[in-house]
Amino acid sequence: MKRFFTLFLAFALTGGMAAANDNYIPGSIAIQPKIDSMKQLLTVRSIAEEQKMEIYRLIAEAYHAFNHDSTVYYAHKSMSLARKHKSYAAFFGNYSILGVTHCFNSNYDSAFIYFNSMKELALDRKNKKEETNALTMLAFAYAKQGKYNTSVEYYLKVLEIAESEKWTSGIVGILVNLSEINRRLGNTEIAIQYLKQAEDNCNTWFLNNTGRYAWYMPNICNEYAFNYLNMGDFDMAFRYAVKADSINPGTSVNSCYSNGLLAAVYLQWNDYGHALQYAQKSYERANELKDKNLYAYAGKILSDVYMAQKRYPEAEAAALKVWLADSTYIDESRDAVGNIVMANIYMRQTERAAYYLKRYSELNAQFAEKSFQTTVSDMMIQYDTEKKETRIAMLEKERNLYTGLGIACLLFAVSLGFVLWQTKRNARKEKQLIASRAILDGEMKERARLAQDLHDRLSGNLSAVKIELNKHADTLHHVREQLDNCIRDIRDAAHDLMPASLQFGMKVALEDFAAKFPNVRFHFFGTERRMGERLEYVVYCCANELVNNAIKHSGAKNINMQLVQDEKHVTLTVSDDGCGFVEKSVTKGFGLKSIRNRVASCNGKIDIESLPGKGTETTIELRIEN
């Protein structure tokens, strides 16, 4: 029986992995039997917890592209068992799944938390393969945000490691990603160079690895099609798009792009029937993935077809969905707004056309920034140049060795003096930190004592007076009401000094605090666990001060309070849509000095972003002490 179960588990898990990676359409009927079979395994009594942990992770991986809630649920179930059994591999896999899921939903702050956790875990374990995976995930997230410079920096780091370790799989993936970034920035020649390198590596290495080959080759073909379409070679674009769709038509991401490319080519050939057919297929694939950038791409193609057919209301509606999707790819958003302008001109809605024409001009100016488009190319040229210069530098090292030794001695003397000065400076800062913490601890104890005294002594005495007054209730009704108000005010004051809900944890205390205000919304992300008493008190006081500032001074209609907690850090973010301010012009009585002092006492960091009329966002990050 045990042998049968082990074989059945291996079969189910293998199928789950294949489905969760490349060869399925998220949200389709194809993946559901895989998920159901894995869930059925969980009901077997003899299954070990380590096996349950892996099944939970694979179910989360299968769900990750189309069901956010189920992904988060099963990933956290897996991590709960991973924590119990100290399975670092399970943690690493679940961090990756959760990070990608949050990327699909444009929750980039949460995605970066999980991807950075992957990186820290890989560095702790000194695992190069896992480190490159984490860096690739970070590059992917920055590219999804449209931060191409940062994305390319990470991709080049991974490429350097992959080339030194001769990891052809990693080299191919990075080359394709670098090609896509260059293509989006209009660097067509460089994009095609990277594609040729990727294709050569792929053909010589992955012919026997069908899973990888089935993903990379359609991706490469789609990128070729994009570039040829930009160059006006529609026959070549059509040929590569058809090849991409025929190699692996079941992969949703590649299928979305290849169908969109076919629609664009047919549109250039004035074959509007086929163009609409493929545009709708591309749009369906994007809907299945729930990816905003894919949704923007497919929606823009669909809007183009409607414009060509003179179906202006449908063209405007499709383009508006692209605009509202908030895609980070400027070119799709810019073209979509252009369609909105033209559709309204044809429909003679001049005011709407004028409004979106202004938006189009803004996007056009942003896209045309020379520095934005050339910086990425410069970085890649610099990378290739540095590899050549490394060989020359190796020959020069021997000649410069003796000169370097003399300079090193001089630098050592200077460094020694600097270290001594820095040691004294750090000792002075340490004393200041100890003093700040002592003051904070004293404040906490004094607040707790005052709260207890107010509740036990004064509140009790007033309650006794009220009982005596009840004997003469008819003649002293007004006095009794005043005593009720007084008792209530004392209880509120005691709660403000040291909230009772804080004893149940920071999340409960902040939820209780946010519930007092109709326009304050509280969100929690991560894994809840108790921290030090001082740290919880500092977070609560800062949240209290920031929310009260927003209510009193900004005139905000909506206030968002977010708490993110992981193994090593806790981050509090309070944002509002109020009047904003210039930080240098704020008076000391505004409360910011008090918040900064509290954060400094915990060696934390605070970042405030605000502009007049644009609202305010304050982020506080504290490290959780062991």
Tell whether 2 is covered by a domain.
yes
Among 69-83, 134-148, 165-179, 331-345, where is mean pLDDT lowest?
Answer: 331-345
Verify that 599 and 542 share a domain, yes or no: yes
Tell whether 172 is covered by a domain.
no
Helix (H, G, I), strand (E, B) or coil at 167: coil
Verify that 343 and 439 share a domain, yes or no: no
**Cα–Cα distance for residue pair 441/462, rounded to 1 Å:** 30
CB atoms within 10 A of CB 348: 7
At residue 218 the predicted structure's pLDDT band, cuts being 50, 70 and 90, is: confident
Verify that 416 and 489 share a domain, yes or no: yes
Q: Which has more confidence, 411 or 287?
A: 287
Q: Which has more confidence, 215 or 17?
A: 215
Q: Which has more confidence, 567 or 426?
A: 567
Tell whether 259 is covered by a domain.
no
Instruction: Give the rounded percent of residues in the chain with a pLDDT score beyond 90.
Output: 16
Tell whether 467 is covered by a domain.
yes
Verify that 492 and 601 share a domain, yes or no: no
Helices (H), 105-233: 108-125, 128-145, 148-165, 168-184, 188-205, 210-231
pLDDT by residue (tens digit) across 326-353? 555 555 677 788 888 888 888 988 888 8
User: Could you say which of 497, 521, 536 is where a domain stops?
Assistant: 497
pLDDT by residue (tens digit) across 167-184? 877 788 888 888 888 888
Tell whether 246 is covered by a domain.
no
Q: Taking residues 423-445, what's their average pLDDT? A: 59
Indicate if the alpha-carbon torsion angle 548, 549, 555, 557 is positive or negative.
negative
Identify the pLDDT of residue 302: 92
Verify that 354 and 432 share a domain, yes or no: no
Residue 97 near residue 71 (C-beta atoms within 8 A): yes
Which of these, 42, 41, 51, lies nearest to 81 by C-alpha position?
A: 51
Verify that 296 and 360 share a domain, yes or no: yes
Residue 621 pairs with which residues in a beta bridge? 571, 605
User: Could you say which of 105, 126, 147 is where a domain stops?
Assistant: 126
**Cα–Cα distance for residue pair 194/352, rounded to 1 Å:** 42
CB atoms within 10 A of CB 311: 17
Tell whether 142 is covered by a domain.
no
Mean pLDDT for the chain overall? 76
User: Could you say which of 497, 512, 542 is where a domain stops?
Assistant: 497
pTM above 0.95, yes or no: no
Q: Domain range holding 408?
A: 398-497
Q: Taking residues 285-303, what's their average pLDDT? A: 83
What is the residue type of 130? Answer: E
Verify that 619 and 512 share a domain, yes or no: yes
- For the chain, how many residues are written? 626
Identify the pLDDT of residue 236: 94
Q: For residue 366, what is the domain's CATH number?
A: 1.25.40
pLDDT by residue (tens digit) across 246-268? 876 555 788 888 999 999 999 99
- Asked whether the predicted pLDDT for residue 278 surpasses 50, the reply is yes
Which of 209-213, 239-243, 436-440, 511-515 has the highest average model confidence (pLDDT)? 239-243
What is the DSSP code (8-state) at residue 618? E
Verify that 319 and 368 share a domain, yes or no: yes
Verify that 430 and 317 share a domain, yes or no: no
Number of folded domains that form the chain: 4
Q: For residue 16, what is the domain's CATH number?
A: 1.25.40.10
Tell whether 560 is covered by a domain.
yes
pLDDT by residue (tens digit) across 299-327? 889 999 999 999 999 988 988 888 777 55
**Cα–Cα distance for residue pair 49/57, rounded to 1 Å:** 12
Identify the pLDDT of residue 480: 63
Among 71-80, 153-162, 382-391, 520-529, where is mean pLDDT lowest?
Answer: 382-391
Q: Taking residues 229-238, what's their average pLDDT? A: 92
Verify that 492 and 513 share a domain, yes or no: no
Q: Write the secondary structure of 379-418 as one string of H (helix), E (strand) and C (coil).
A: HHHHHHHHHHHHHHHHHHHHHHHHHHHHHHHHHHHHHHHH
Verify that 506 and 485 share a domain, yes or no: no
